[in-house]
Structure 1
Amino acid sequence: MFLGKLERIKTKIKSIMNSAASYFVGRVEVNPLEHTLVRDEHTISLQPKFIELLCYLAEQQPELLTRQQIIDHVWDGNNYVGEKALTNAIWHLRKALKELDSDQEFIETVRKSGYRLLVAPVFAEQQDTVFLQISSRNIKQLGLFIGFVLSIVFAWLLWPEPQQKVYQQPELITQYPGRELFPSVSNDGRYLVYSWRQMDRKIDLYRKDLQQPDLKHTKITHSPGSESRSVWAHDDSKLYYYRRLSSRCEVLSVNMNDFAIEKHGECSNSSNDVAVSPDGKLLAYVGVDPENTTRGVYIKQLDLNEPARRIRCNNCEPGESEAIDFSPDSTRLAISRNLANGNEDIFIYDIQSKTEQRVVTGLPDIRGLAWQPDAEKIVFSAIKHGNRHGFELDLTSNHKTNLNVEGFSYPAFDRAGNLYYHDWKIDTSIMRLELDSDVAASPFPLIQSDFNFRYPDYSQAADKLTFISNESGFDEVWTSSLDGTQRKQLTQLKFHARNPIWSPDGKKIAFTANNGQESRLYVLDALTSQLKQIKTELNYYGKARWSQDGSALYSASVGDIYRIEIESGIATRITRGAHAIEVKENQLIVYKEGKGLWQVSIDGELIDEQPLIKNLKLANSTGWHVTEQGIYYFKVRGHDYRLSYYDFANNQDKDVLRVPERAFSRSRGMSFVPSKQWLLFTGYESPQVDIKRMRKDYE
């Protein structure tokens, strides 16, 4: 511990020494000790952090420095402060330097990469020691400054390290058939509430007595709807939760004494969350209203008989809110939000000032978060390369710790700081369903191992499969023969690839990917593995589909369908929609959220649209596949999972197969093998999920 502190101090003192000397950038003199920029008789004073930033850029010139490198060096890795402070510092430096020399550009911004100093720093003489450039007045100032630093250093060395919280090994709390999800612990620590999902049964909330764990759990809700995501009132008198019934979603509370139900708001049928402030005054939930169909956060004062209000924000990035929790002092909210670029980031929202700070970025999917009851720390679940992992983020230092718990999902704390979560470790395989079997067939694993296989697509021209696998440790594009043998990894991007689709001639594969900063669209040569990124003005790419001639791709971005020319990258908007497949040249079938499947014909600039299956509600916008005879699609109604088929010949749809809940993934691909009459899709193995607890401990 002592040596670690000493090493950090040595690094800091070295940085101070190296930045003590005055130097020139162009015709502007930089004086680090006086925090000034000087040209002739004109002097501009700046904040010390601004000068420290400039010195770091000068020290590394001509290197391009990422925002994270700069924040780590100048703000000691505190992203919570550094994200906004860096942007502000760059603006002030540019303004001051421009004022002193308007003809010179000093700092370059490389979009989504970082910053570099364009002008090499020049010292008066290339002397052996930097102190030769320091004036006598500066030496005196430096002596006083170093004396001050040393006094702080010794005080810091003598100050004890704060006790760091850790967690004991996970212990099993529930183990019922099916899936126990979304744990919520009463404030007195006695009861655990969760949503229990069993095969072919309604989804209800259940309560387990943690003080008498051998007692059978009891059912709390008894409605025909599906209940989930609950939170206790401050005094444990009520339980707030979501209920989905048909196409409706409501935010409700149940009185734990007389079981009376009260409605508080509306929500969407997508992911939602609910939270109560530690002081018991505020209810927050993710919801929608008639004027705002995008999921946002609503706050209701529980002591007033007034409707909930959607939070407003002076600097918020737009997107779909998903997970929320209050800070221990009830003044802030941690919010995860799905953004237009495909990432899900975490923000800290200040309720009083209506501003927010981004604290976590670059993750494709977050599955729940929770704020520690006695610290400036949050824990969250993130999906990385097919698996769920737990992380703890210190908001003061911005230090992120991997909890090393695979399957960690939707965390919740009790007041003592013990951590609960549901353990989601369900492998995925590529499944095949024989459609022409004389005997009713069940899906059968085609590719199955200890790794995850997802997003299957079959090419009749190549007679091969392509899919995504995490066998290498990352989500990469692979191919195999139809029987699953001769597997070959085609990409080594080392970030999240998705949705591979064969070209009509079976020579290329289009897929989407996210590198933690942006959504990307690629075309891959299946023979040579040569990779081409398709660059357009779009910020996000949904699952792509090939044009019949192989010259373009169709992809959805922010609710619109675009045709993207592969050679030029020109993206042309076609219509509103969530996913499109070109069945004949310039003839599309488009899925429109809430409106079903539509036929869209393109004749130059003329677009003709006709309903094909009106008001069809798919389980996922990409969960369907077109054959010459009809359309196969996933249909989910609560715990009822079915594979259905629409016949072009008679314009009728029918159910092909009913499967256990979660037997297939709604969003991870569907493909058809004409020669064998097989339908391929991503299936889940053994959908058993239990709740676990990690007790609070101290080192």
Structure 2
Amino acid sequence: MTTQHSFYLAELFVNPAELSIHTPAGQVVSLQQKPMDVLVFLAQQYPALVSRQQLIDNVWGGNVYVGEKALTNAIWQLRNVLQQLAQMDLICTVRKKGYRLAVAPVPSALSDDANPPKHPQPVKRVMPVTRRLLYLFAAILLLACGALLFYYPAAAPVATEVTVLTNGNGRAMFPSLSADERYLVFSWRKFEAASDLYSLDLTEPDKPARQLTFTPDDESRPLWAKDGRHVYYSSKTAVYGECNIMQLDTVTLHSQKLANCNRHSTGYMDITPDGRYLAFSGSMNTDGSSLYQLDLQNPEAKPQAVPCTQNCQYLIRDLAFSPDGRYLAVTRRAHRLSEDIYLHNLASGEEQKLTQGEEDILGLSWHPDSQRLLFGALQHGKRQGFVLNVVEGTSASLQLDNFAWPSRVASNGEVYFHNSKSVPQLAYLPLNSAVSAAVFPLTANEARYEAPNYSKTRHALAYVSNESGYMEIWQADAEMENRRQLTQLHGMVKYPQWSNNGRYIAFVGRLPTEEEDKLMLLEVQTGKLTQLNTGVLWHGRLSWWFDDSAVIFAYDGNLFSVDIATSAVEQLTLKGGAWGQMPAAERFYFSKGRNRGLWQLLPDGTEQQLLPGSVFSSRTAWTVAGQSIYFLQQKPGQLLVSRYDTVSGKVEDLILLPPDLLHPHSIMSYDAEQQRLIFELSVHPSADLQRLQHPLLQ
């Protein structure tokens, strides 16, 4: 049988050439190419057992990175279609071995381009003895599959169903399900206001959400205690980001501080299955530990660092204890472009890496069977949900966009999540207007547009976009016309930065199969790519030496330069550095981080503070323009664009913006020709709570 020949499977007529399956009643269902290829290969190999590797080799050309996830998804699609049409499971799974068809495929006598007979009866014809023996053998296999299903029962297929629970202004985020599955507590940030905690009674869907906290601080990432009465959450002060882990009594609404948390990130935490310890991620200690635990049964207890023995070079972000108490799943971030899930055995202390090459994982929760993990991750600029089988080491996509922060999976397989819609765009602010100006859009698209950098020499803008389906470096003119894709890495790219002479664009990139990112040089005229060997695992935002002889990058909290001719690396700062710009030989300005001020690195290597953190709060959202430095300044309930005169030392506030229009970590570039600032505009992200039913969670 070839991939072009049609065949019968039970009473179903399969036509690979047309990617279709027909029933005796005349119903026609279309399949995608890869699921059909899998079905055809199983038919070709019948009655042999086909391993996953065989399928990946023959259907995905041996591409394990793509094939592992895609195969699981293809098998699920096939089962879903075949069970609906044939009312039986025609694909038999042998655990940890592979797959085989449960019945013998019967070649069709029809030509390749013929339509199926209106009433196909392949199983009712008088058949030769050999064919009857084949069907007898198929029946035995079907009984074997039934026996396997008796020991490993499969849930009845359910359709994917999404129900919207909130549809208000602002962002409803971080849903957490109570132990009795009656209440959902979440964080709700309304426009131009701090976020507070709310709860929904799921038994009364028409009842409005009840507000639980009433403070000017940002309260998020709530987590139910095992008693069903208390909630743990993180609370951050506006602007300065002082972070505390709090406990809230949902009856009295009294809250109390339990511990400090990392002010530079969202509070990630979980409770041990016995309810005794609250575990949370924090700053990395000198021994590599970044996980802490607090004894909830001891009112006098202080957080204790949990010793780290494996993968300690990577900071822990999110964490989730398995319901059976055997494992702790953690996400470890190597750098902004690389974050993966690790499975920590609580008994042995051994740790196993479960994913490869994920980016920005948002949300990690277990299925009640303690065998499946649900998580959200950023792939090519889109947030996607995945189900990871920790036993088989396979994962499958939920095929659901904007999926983030799933709650723990309920006993019936339902999960709550927030639908996060955030598609950055580019915009500009005119600086030569006689009256207060407004921010004007440069793009308005479904694709993402990030990290703008304008070259006066080239009269061109470099930026990052997923317009092609992958995050790549693009070039356009000043009005975002004549767009041209410059890279085809099909990986992840960040921070494009023109050289002063316009010959190169320096950027940070990571290929799909690799963990470490690379500092790359793109020669724009020829398209030639060159890697600069810096010897570090990751690179922060980039800039150029004043004469284009070196690229400046951030790593591990300080600034470094790498010579583009010799690859010699030199450390520039010793007491902190997040991003720097060097417009001239004697002028090197840099920031150290959020609320740490603006600094100048003098020729003798000493540092001089130009603006304090109370005035200059920005980390990377600033740019040098002649004798001026433009920057975003965050204040309680406000966001200002301000200008610092490097000659007079004076600060001038230019325009007041809505606090959520731009992010303090956004990237800003100066267009000297049109006297304007170009921003990465955070089109105000909306987020609503939703409930998901999905076959992969049953």
Question: Could you tell me the TM-score, scaled by structure 2's length?
Answer: 0.75
Aligned residue identity for 1:185: L
Aligned residue identity for 2:578: A
Tell me the secondary structure at the aligned position of residue 539 of structure 2: coil
Q: Answer yes or no: is 1:456 the counterpart of 2:452.
A: yes
Tell me the secondary structure at the aligned position of residue 606 of structure 2: strand
CA gap of 1:243–1:13, structure 2 versus 1, over 3 A, is closer
RMSD across aligned positions (CA):
3.2
Question: What is the CA–CA distance in structure 2 between the aligned matches of 1:556 and 1:179, rounded to whole Å?
Answer: 32
| Displacement of 1:202 | 2.5
8 A contact 2:596–2:617 mirrored in 1: no
Counterpart mapping for 1:618-657 below 5 A: 621-637=619-635, 640-657=638-655
Aligned residue identity for 1:264: L
Structure 2 alignment gaps of length 5 or more: 1-8, 11-38, 55-61, 70-139
| Displacement of 1:288 | 4.4
Question: What is the CA–CA distance in structure 2 between the aligned matches of 1:345 and 1:431, rounded to whole Å?
Answer: 33
Counterpart mapping for 1:144-543 below 5 A: 158-160=147-149, 162-163=153-154, 168-245=160-237, 246-269=240-263, 270-288=265-283, 296-305=290-299, 306-340=301-335, 342-416=337-411, 417-516=413-512, 517=514, 518-543=516-541
Question: What is the CA–CA distance in structure 2 between the aligned matches of 1:685 and 1:673, rounded to whole Å?
Answer: 21
Q: Map Cα deviations across residues 166-196 of structure 1 (whole Å, 9 max, x no partner).
A: 6732110111111111111212222221111
Q: Which residue of 2 aligns with 1:674?
A: 672
Question: What is the CA–CA distance in structure 2 between the aligned matches of 1:634 and 1:558, rounded to whole Å?
Answer: 24
8 A contact 1:199–1:660 mirrored in 2: no
Question: What is the CA–CA distance in structure 2 between the aligned matches of 1:584 and 1:172, rounded to whole Å?
Answer: 54
CA gap of 1:411–1:619, structure 2 versus 1, over 3 A, is farther
Aligned residue identity for 2:456: Q
> Which one of 541, 547, 550 corresponds to residue 549 of structure 1?
547
Q: Which residue of 1 aligns with 2:124?
A: none
CA gap of 1:13–1:273, structure 2 versus 1, over 3 A, is closer
Question: What is the CA–CA distance in structure 1 between the aligned matches of 2:65 and 2:482, rounded to whole Å?
Answer: 41
| Displacement of 1:539 | 1.8
Question: What is the CA–CA distance in structure 2 between the aligned matches of 1:514 and 1:482, rounded to whole Å?
Answer: 28
8 A contact 1:183–1:422 mirrored in 2: yes
Q: Which residue of 1 aligns with 2:692?
A: 694
Tell me the secondary structure at the aligned position of residue 690 of structure 2: strand
Q: Which residue of 2 aligns with 1:55?
A: none
CA gap of 1:475–1:288, structure 2 versus 1, over 3 A, is closer
CA gap of 1:639–1:205, structure 2 versus 1, over 3 A, is farther
Counterpart mapping for 1:4-83 below 5 A: 10-11=49-50
Question: What is the CA–CA distance in structure 2 between the aligned matches of 1:548 and 1:678, rounded to whole Å?
Answer: 22
CA gap of 1:569–1:540, structure 2 versus 1, over 3 A, is same
| Displacement of 1:508 | 1.6
Question: What is the CA–CA distance in structure 2 between the aligned matches of 1:599 and 1:220, rounded to whole Å?
Answer: 45
Aligned residue identity for 1:323: D
Tell me the secondary structure at the aligned position of residue 282 of structure 2: strand
CA gap of 1:231–1:492, structure 2 versus 1, over 3 A, is same
Aligned residue identity for 1:479: Q
Question: What is the CA–CA distance in structure 2 between the aligned matches of 1:621 and 1:361, rounded to whole Å?
Answer: 30
Further displaced range: 615-624 or 452-461 = 615-624
Tell me the secondary structure at the aligned position of residue 363 of structure 2: strand
Structure 1 alignment gaps of length 5 or more: 16-64, 73-150
Further displaced range: 573-582 or 638-647 = 638-647
> Which one of 593, 610, 613 corresponds to residue 612 of structure 1?
610
8 A contact 2:289–2:306 mirrored in 1: no
| Displacement of 1:378 | 0.8
Q: Map Cα deviations across residues 640-690 of structure 1 (whole Å, 9 max, x no partner).
A: 433333222332334333323431244342101122221101112243211
| Displacement of 1:487 | 0.6
CA gap of 1:446–1:546, structure 2 versus 1, over 3 A, is same
CA gap of 1:530–1:244, structure 2 versus 1, over 3 A, is same
Question: What is the CA–CA distance in structure 1 between the aligned matches of 2:473 and 2:67, rounded to whole Å?
Answer: 34
8 A contact 1:286–1:295 mirrored in 2: no
Q: Which residue of 2 aligns with 1:581?
A: 581
Q: Which residue of 1 aligns with 2:83?
A: none
The percentage of aligned residue pairs carrying the same residue is: 29
Q: Map Cα deviations across residues 302-354 of structure 1 (whole Å, 9 max, x no partner).
A: 22332232211222332332211111123322111211584111112233433
Question: What is the CA–CA distance in structure 2 between the aligned matches of 1:629 and 1:391, rounded to whole Å?
Answer: 49
CA gap of 1:7–1:228, structure 2 versus 1, over 3 A, is farther
8 A contact 1:189–1:414 mirrored in 2: no
Further displaced range: 612-621 or 403-412 = 612-621
CA gap of 1:152–1:242, structure 2 versus 1, over 3 A, is same
Question: What is the CA–CA distance in structure 1 between the aligned matches of 2:179 and 2:505, rounded to whole Å?
Answer: 53
| Displacement of 1:67 | 9.6
Q: Which residue of 1 aligns with 2:102?
A: none
CA gap of 1:232–1:566, structure 2 versus 1, over 3 A, is same
| Displacement of 1:692 | 0.8
Q: Answer yes or no: is 1:591 the counterpart of 2:591.
A: yes
CA gap of 1:618–1:152, structure 2 versus 1, over 3 A, is farther
Aligned length: 569
8 A contact 1:286–1:322 mirrored in 2: yes
8 A contact 1:364–1:514 mirrored in 2: no
Aligned residue identity for 1:679: L
Question: What is the CA–CA distance in structure 2 between the aligned matches of 1:387 and 1:656, rounded to whole Å?
Answer: 34
Q: Which residue of 1 aligns with 2:114?
A: none
8 A contact 1:187–1:415 mirrored in 2: no
Aligned residue identity for 1:438: A
Tell me the secondary structure at the aligned position of residue 573 of structure 2: strand
| Displacement of 1:479 | 0.8
CA gap of 1:205–1:295, structure 2 versus 1, over 3 A, is farther
Aligned residue identity for 1:601: L
CA gap of 1:525–1:70, structure 2 versus 1, over 3 A, is closer
Question: What is the CA–CA distance in structure 2 between the aligned matches of 1:470 and 1:70, rounded to whole Å?
Answer: 22
8 A contact 1:200–1:639 mirrored in 2: yes
8 A contact 1:554–1:580 mirrored in 2: yes
8 A contact 2:409–2:415 mirrored in 1: yes
Aligned residue identity for 2:173: L
8 A contact 2:289–2:307 mirrored in 1: no
Aligned residue identity for 1:570: A
Question: What is the CA–CA distance in structure 2 between the aligned matches of 1:13 and 1:232, rounded to whole Å?
Answer: 40
Tell me the secondary structure at the aligned position of residue 303 of structure 1: coil
Aligned residue identity for 1:480: A
| Displacement of 1:13 | 13
Q: Which residue of 1 aligns with 2:558?
A: 560
CA gap of 1:384–1:258, structure 2 versus 1, over 3 A, is same
Question: What is the CA–CA distance in structure 2 between the aligned matches of 1:293 and 1:438, rounded to whole Å?
Answer: 56
